[in-house]
Amino acid sequence: MTYNMITNELQGTLEVKNRTFEYDGEIWNGAEFIIKIPVELEEDNELCGGGGGDI
CA-based nearest residue to 38, from 15, 6, 2, 16: 6
**Structural domain boundaries in the chain:** 2-43
CA distance 4 to 37: 13
As averages over each run of 10 residues, the pLDDT of the chain (55 residues) reads: 92 96 96 93 60 51
How much is the pLDDT for 13?
A: 96
How much is the pLDDT for 29?
A: 98
Cα–Cα distances in angstroms (integers) from residue 21 to residues 35, 41, 51, in the given order: 19, 34, 43
Bridge partners (DSSP) listed for residue 36:
13
